[in-house]
Structure 1
């Protein structure tokens, strides 16, 4: 059976120049490098400069992805930008990226699923390509998440960073089995009952302010382990693959202990799990595409290999995707 697959044609990334180390934070709040590393695996994070917007980060990552794919912006039919930190309440930040790239046709819009945002955006773009409504898509995860932080709250301020990553998808014919290149499947979930465990205490309709992140860390950790396992298991089962066939796990970079537990669940050697949390911290929707771009650029991920991505974020939202590179 012939099907349309969304093949990854290129990757790009951008990180702001300013780096804030754990030692820098320890000079401002009651914490230490040892405390942060032991609990999260984080050593530093990038922070956007004053006047540097989410769209600026997204544009740089997109330009890199387009260059890597060897295509021009006017070949794009679709831009899907996952972000929790848009430049403005409206219009969609994706339209600012569209204009900056010089894309004057097709469509561009944002997706909001917090840390699961990139998986959601990838699923949306994949569906557009599968049904023939687009042939080439740019999927971006971009965040200036540090602007949502209460820098006096050591439970949240040490966890997050800013950055952007992007991938170019191109529609290509496939046989309809697990040997095809491209996105083999995506799996999305949400459960709004867990809102109060991870949210921002503001918004245009409620307080008229941006608000800051509020989180019940222990509860989020507990749910992440079980819900990510569900998403991972579903991706493997629906494609008829075994754990031994997975070449790479590229997880959302939220906590090193969660990352390690997912790698162990898949019986993957530690070197087969792409980890950037030590240098990037949690960049929300940007974390998976940043990690993909790094592993693609340094040659770790090779054509034909099976790559599993997974994430969980506020809402709760969570999901996974299985991709043959």
Structure 2
């Protein structure tokens, strides 16, 4: 990574009001609270109303960011919304949020890297600002996964929730946030986690044509616990940093057992890990910004901390960033 000229200056989040507990799910599918907690660590998740969409959650996350840090977004010149659950195929969520915020001179794109979306979004923002193409970028990770979840499938409906997080990234040559990165993809394993409404084939193989998320949990788990520790080490190597110099590890909040395995394999203390899954479930691209916001609110994450972010999921894609916490 070239010497960064980009700084994360604010962060915010939003989750819908409606809470769905494990007890609530017991009434819908054959499951129970003890089984869900033991296997995933999740106790509850948030769910949007029928008329509440990804753009609404995104907008509220930005409003939260503005209020918490007294920030204006009128002069934002690029908006990147990371999501796999856009309101429409077109226009983009970014365009809808740009209109709601009244930002006049901003580019607007959606980025779909599934659960790695937010780390990819930050990576892009750093690149655009460091290259001199942009000065001030909003990166939003937002999902309404409840709208593509099959609530008759007990293996997936216990996992997913809705939420959004936003970060403001600005030009700052003196105090940049970004230290190093590492990105990857294993597209041949994409069939283990997908949602299709257009094709019933992938690489010539028949797949279930459904509007709902389909996941081979065992295969995704195996992939994550081997891929992420290697990726973490690659990020650290690229940043000439030792693992014991990292203050906080913020992985995608997929499953607590998965995070425990990743920490064990990478020899990183679980106590120095930030996640958002207990109360929010797996919110795909929103998990990392939700975790960061929670870390700030809980008084854990502090200015000057060295933080390792790692997103991983559908694609199968993954992306890690080592950053200085500059808020």
TM-score of the two chains, using structure 1 as the length reference: 0.93
Deviation at 1:257, TM superposition (A): 1.3
For residue 189 of structure 1, give the secondary structure of its aligned residue in structure 2. strand
Counterpart contact for 1:183–1:324, Cα < 8 Å: yes
Structure 1 segment 234-313 matched on structure 2, within 5 A: 234-313=234-313
Kindly indicate whether residue 199 of structure 2 is the aligned counterpart of residue 199 of structure 1. Answer: no
Per the alignment, residue 57 of structure 1 pairs with 57
Per the alignment, residue 211 of structure 1 pairs with 211
Q: Structure 2 regions of 5+ residues with no counterpart?
A: 202-206
For residue 260 of structure 1, give the secondary structure of its aligned residue in structure 2. helix
State how far apart, in whole Å, the 1-side matches of 2:74 and 2:27 are: 48
Aligned residues: 318
Per the alignment, residue 10 of structure 1 pairs with 10
Deviation at 1:240, TM superposition (A): 0.5
Deviation at 1:204, TM superposition (A): 8.2
Per the alignment, residue 159 of structure 2 pairs with 159
State how far apart, in whole Å, the 1-side matches of 2:69 and 2:136 are: 11
For residue 163 of structure 2, give the secondary structure of its aligned residue in structure 1. strand
For residue 85 of structure 1, give the secondary structure of its aligned residue in structure 2. coil
* 1:312–1:224 Cα change, 3 Å: same
Per the alignment, residue 26 of structure 1 pairs with 26
Counterpart contact for 1:116–1:313, Cα < 8 Å: yes
Kindly indicate whether residue 173 of structure 2 is the aligned counterpart of residue 173 of structure 1. Answer: yes
State how far apart, in whole Å, the 2-side matches of 1:64 and 1:127 are: 25
Kindly indicate whether residue 177 of structure 2 is the aligned counterpart of residue 182 of structure 1. Answer: yes
* 1:238–1:144 Cα change, 3 Å: same
For residue 285 of structure 2, give the secondary structure of its aligned residue in structure 1. helix
State how far apart, in whole Å, the 2-side matches of 1:67 and 1:75 are: 16
Q: Structure 1 regions of 5+ residues with no counterpart?
A: 175-179
State how far apart, in whole Å, the 2-side matches of 1:130 and 1:143 are: 28
For residue 173 of structure 1, give the secondary structure of its aligned residue in structure 2. coil
Per the alignment, residue 40 of structure 1 pairs with 40
For residue 211 of structure 2, give the secondary structure of its aligned residue in structure 1. coil
Structure 1 segment 128-147 matched on structure 2, within 5 A: 128-147=128-147
Kindly indicate whether residue 93 of structure 2 is the aligned counterpart of residue 125 of structure 1. Answer: no
Deviation at 1:259, TM superposition (A): 1.1
Counterpart contact for 1:79–1:137, Cα < 8 Å: yes
State how far apart, in whole Å, the 1-side matches of 2:210 and 2:72 are: 35
Per the alignment, residue 225 of structure 2 pairs with 225
Deviation at 1:3, TM superposition (A): 4.2
1:23-65 C-alpha deviation (Å, 9 max, x unpaired): 1101111001111111111111000011001000000001112
Residue range with higher mean Cα deviation, 119-128 or 270-279: 270-279
For residue 100 of structure 1, give the secondary structure of its aligned residue in structure 2. helix
Deviation at 1:319, TM superposition (A): 1.1
State how far apart, in whole Å, the 1-side matches of 2:189 and 2:309 are: 23
